[in-house]
Amino acid sequence: MLNNYKSGYSLSQCFYKDESIYDLEVKSIFHKHWLFAGHTSQIPNIGDYFLFEISEESIIIVRNKKNKIKAHVNVCRHRGSNICSEKYGNKKLLNCPYHAWSYDLDGLLITARDMPSDFKYKNNNLHSVNVELIGGFIFINLAKKPLSLYNFKHDLNKTLDLFGLDDLKLVMHKSYPIPANWKLAVENYNECYHCNPSHKEFSQIHMMGTDNKVFKKRKNDFHEQNKGKLKFAQFNCYYDYAQTGQEGYQYDRNPLKPGILSGTVKGSPAAPLLGNLTEYDNGASELMLGPLMFFLLYDDYIVGYRFTPLSLNNCVCDIFWFVRDDAVENIDYEINNLIWLWDTTTLADKEIISNNQKGVNSSFYSPGRLSLMEDFQKSFLDWYINTLSSYTGD
C-alpha cells in the first residue's frame, strides 16, 4: 500500500480506514513527535493539573511543589487504573481511586498498603514523559529519546521573543470534535486551495486564499519591503526537510489583505500589541512545530491549533487564543471579536472535513490529483508515507 503511493495525489482509501495503519501511525508519529499539551496559565497554582489525551494515552500535566511543570502517564503502577478522571483539577497527591496507592506531584509512589516485603517503591513511580516549555507553551514527547528541539530554538528564539511568548495568557480554549480521520484534518489545515470557496471570513482578512500568482507576488513584495527584519525570517525545516534527529518546524510571515491589521471582524486591532512589537505591519506569521501543531501570530494575538487523533475515525481540533498577559477583557480586548475568525473558520472546516471523510469512505473513491495550491499538503503526505515506510519499531 505504501509502495502504491503517488506523490502529488491524495492517499488511498486504506490509509483512512485501516486499523492496523492507525496503530502504526500512533507508534511512528504520535509517540515520536512533540505534542502541544497546553499553556502554563491553565495551571497557575501548585497542584493544578489538566489531562492531555491522545488516542489511548492520557497524560497528567501538573505543576509540582517547586513550581515546575511535569507530565506523568495517567496509569497507576499497581494494576493500571487511570488515576485522574476529571479533566482539570487541583491535587496535593495523585491518589489512585482503585486501591488507594498514592503518588506525589513528581510521580513518586509514596503509599501502597500491604505490599510484600520485597516490594520496591522506587520501581513503581509513575511513568513520566518529556516536557519542554517555550514561553508558556507546554510541549510533551512520549518517546524515550525525543527528537531534539535545539535547531528550532536556535533559529527562532529571537523572532519568537518579539511576540512576547513568556508574557501571554490563554483567554479562550475551544475543542472541535471532528468525525474524521486525523489526516483529513491536518491535510485541510495544510492547504488553502479551499479557503476561497469555503471561508469568506478568512478570505476577507488573509491574502493566502486568493489566486496563487497574486498571492505570491504580494508576498514577495511584502518580504522585499521588510527585508532583514527579524519578524520576516523564514525557516522551512518542516516534514521531510527536518534535519535527522531534530523536530521539524517552519516559520514564515504572510501578508494580510490591504489595510487589515489583525484577524478581527473589521480587520482592526484585537488587543494590545504583543511583546516588543511597536507597530502593526499588515501581516501574520505562521509557525509550525512537529507535524500536528500550528500557531498563527498576529501582531496582537496568537492562535494555537492542535490536531489530536482519538481513534481511526475521530479526531479533535483544539484552538487556543492568547493575548498579552496584562490585557484586560472588555477594555483591551473583546473576546467575541478575538475568536470570531478562527471559531467561524474552524466550524466551517469541521463540516468540510466530515464531508471529506464520507466521500473517502465510498467504494468509488480513488486518489485525486493535487493542485498547485496544495504543495504543503503534498509535503505532508510525502513525509507521512516516508515516516510509515521507514518505521523500524523503535
Sites of contact with Fe ion (CB under 5 A): 349
Please state the length of the chain. Answer: 394
For residues 248 and 238, what is the distance between their CA atoms, to the nearest angstrom?
4
* Nearer of residues 247 and 349 to Fe ion, judged by Cβ: 349
Q: Is 127 in the site for ligand FES (CB under 6 A)?
A: no
Instruction: State the sign of the Cα–Cα–Cα–Cα dihedral 176, 181, 187, 190.
Output: positive
DSSP string, 237-267: E-GGGSPTTB--EEEEEEEBSTT--SSSTTS
Q: Which of 27, 28, 131, 125 minimizes the C-alpha distance to 75?
A: 125
Record the cell numbers describing residue 175, joined without a space: 475543542
Which partner in ligand FES, Fe ion, none is near 116 (CB below 5 to 8 A by kind)?
none
In the complex, the smallest distance separating the C-beta of residue 113 from ligand FES, rounded to whole angstroms, is 9
* Nearer of residues 328 and 347 to Fe ion, judged by Cβ: 347
334 contact partners, CB below 8 Å, separation of at least 6 = none
334 three-state secondary structure: coil
* Nearer of residues 76 and 341 to ligand FES, judged by Cβ: 76
Residue nearest to Fe ion (CB): 349
* Nearer of residues 113 and 369 to ligand FES, judged by Cβ: 113
Going by the DSSP 8-state scheme, the letter that residue 166 receives in this structure is G
In the complex, the smallest distance separating the C-beta of residue 48 from ligand FES, rounded to whole angstroms, is 22
Record the cell numbers describing residue 108, joined without a space: 513518586
Binding to ligand FES (CB under 6 A) within 52-81 occurs at: 76, 78-81
Record the cell numbers describing residue 32, joined without a space: 515520536
Record the cell numbers describing residue 169, joined without a space: 495568557
In the complex, the smallest distance separating the C-beta of residue 78 from ligand FES, rounded to whole angstroms, is 3
Which partner in ligand FES, Fe ion, none is near 101 (CB below 5 to 8 A by kind)?
ligand FES
Q: Is 99 in the site for ligand FES (CB under 6 A)?
A: yes
Among the listed ranges 94-102, 184-192, 284-292, 381-389, the one in contact with ligand FES (CB under 6 A) is: 94-102
Helix (H) or strand (E) holding 311: strand 302-311
236 contact partners, CB below 8 Å, separation of at least 6 = 250, 252
Q: Is 101 in the site for ligand FES (CB under 6 A)?
A: yes
DSSP string, 355-374: HHHHHHTSTT----BPPGGG
In the complex, the smallest distance separating the C-beta of residue 79 from ligand FES, rounded to whole angstroms, is 4
Q: What are the helix and strand counts (H, E) for the chain? A: 9, 17
* Nearer of residues 100 and 230 to ligand FES, judged by Cβ: 100
Which partner in ligand FES, Fe ion, none is near 127 (CB below 5 to 8 A by kind)?
none
Q: What is the largest distance, in Å, between two alpha-carbon atoms of the chain?
A: 74
* Nearer of residues 74 and 262 to ligand FES, judged by Cβ: 74
Q: How many residues bind ligand FES (CB under 6 A)?
A: 10
* Nearer of residues 124 and 130 to ligand FES, judged by Cβ: 124
Which partner in Fe ion, ligand FES, none is near 88 (CB below 5 to 8 A by kind)?
none
* Nearer of residues 93 and 328 to ligand FES, judged by Cβ: 93
In the complex, the smallest distance separating the C-beta of residue 181 from ligand FES, rounded to whole angstroms, is 33
In the complex, the smallest distance separating the C-beta of residue 270 from ligand FES, rounded to whole angstroms, is 46
For residues 345 and 41, what is the distance between their CA atoms, to the nearest angstrom?
25
Interface residues toward ligand FES, by CB under 6 A: 76, 78-81, 96, 98-101
